[in-house]
Amino acid sequence: MHEVWTKEYGKSVEEIKTLNVYLKPEEAAAYYVINEETTGKVTI
């Protein structure tokens, strides 16, 4: 999620105020919400 935030969105780590991660093992995925507005999914 760090790489997504910094590389894809061009933001700095210091701009992250909140980070929520939801794991779904049955999908081999982690869903995230950064600063209550940016969402996404990464394969785990």
Distance, CA of 41 to CA of 32 (rounded, Å):
6
The mean per-residue pLDDT over the stretch 8-19 comes to: 92
Query: For the whole model, what pTM was predicted?
Result: 0.80
Pick the more confident residue, 41 or 3. Answer: 41
Pick the more confident residue, 3 or 11. Answer: 11
Distance, CA of 9 to CA of 27 (rounded, Å):
25
Q: What one-character DSSP code corresponds to residue 3?
A: H
Question: Residues of 1-23 as b/e, b for ≥16 C-beta within 10 angstroms?
Answer: eeeebeeeeeeeeeeeeeeeeee
